[in-house]
Chains A and B, each alone.
Chain A
Amino acid sequence: MIRLVPNHATRIKRSETVTFTFDSEPVQGHLGETLVAALMRAGHLNLREAPNDSAPRGAFCCMGLCQECAVIVDGQVVEACRTVVSADLVVERA
Chain B
Amino acid sequence: MTTGPTYEIAIIGGGIMGCATALRVAAGGMSAIVLDQGDLGQGASGVNAGTLSLQIKRVKLMPYALKGHHCWEEMGDTVGFAKTGGYTLAFNAREAEMLHERQTLKSNAGAPIEFVSNNQLRAAEPNLTHKVEAASFCPEDGYANSSLTGQYYRGKLRDAGIPYREGCAVTAIDQGDGFTLTTPQGPIRANRILLAAGAWLKPLAALLDVDLPVNARVNTVSVTERLQPLMSSVIGHATGLLTMKQKANGTVLIGGGWQGRGTPQDGRGTVDADTVRPNLALAQYAVPALSAARVTRSWTGFEANVPDFYPLAGALPGVPDAFVLGCVRGGYTIGPYISQLMGDHILGREPEMPLFDPGRDFEKDTI
Contacts and interface: CB of A to CB of B under 8 A. Distances in A.
**Do A and B touch, yes or no (CB under 8 Å, in the complex)?**
yes
Contacts of B250: 51
B249 A51 contact: yes
Contact of A76 (B225, B226, B292): B292
A59 B294 CA distance: 19
Contacts of A67: 225
Interface size class of chain B, counting residues whose CB lies under 8 Å from the partner chain? under 10
A43 interface: no
Interface residues of A, number: 5
Contacts of B292: 75-77
Nearest to B227: A77
Interface string A56-81: 00000000000100000001110000
A16 to B, nearest CB: 31
Interface in A40-54: 51
Interface string A13-54: 000000000000000000000000000000000000001000
Contacts of B294: 77
A17 to B, nearest CB: 30
A67 B296 CA distance: 11
Contacts of A76: 292
Nearest to A76: B292
A67 B295 CA distance: 13
A75 B249 CA distance: 20
A64 B133 CA distance: 42
Nearest to B296: A67
Interface in B256-315: 292, 294
Contacts of B225: 67, 77
A74 to B, nearest CB: 9
A51 B225 CA distance: 11
Interface in B219-255: 225-226, 249-250
A53 B324 CA distance: 46
A73 to B, nearest CB: 11
A77 B226 CA distance: 11
A51 B247 CA distance: 14
A81 to B, nearest CB: 15
Nearest to B293: A77
Nearest to A78: B294
B68 to A, nearest CB: 31
A77 B292 CA distance: 7
A2 B27 CA distance: 81
5 contacts: A51-B249, A51-B250, A67-B225, A76-B292, A77-B294
Interface of A: 51, 67, 75-77
Given A51-B226, A77-B292, A77-B294, 6 more contacts: A51-B249, A51-B250, A67-B225, A75-B292, A76-B292, A77-B225
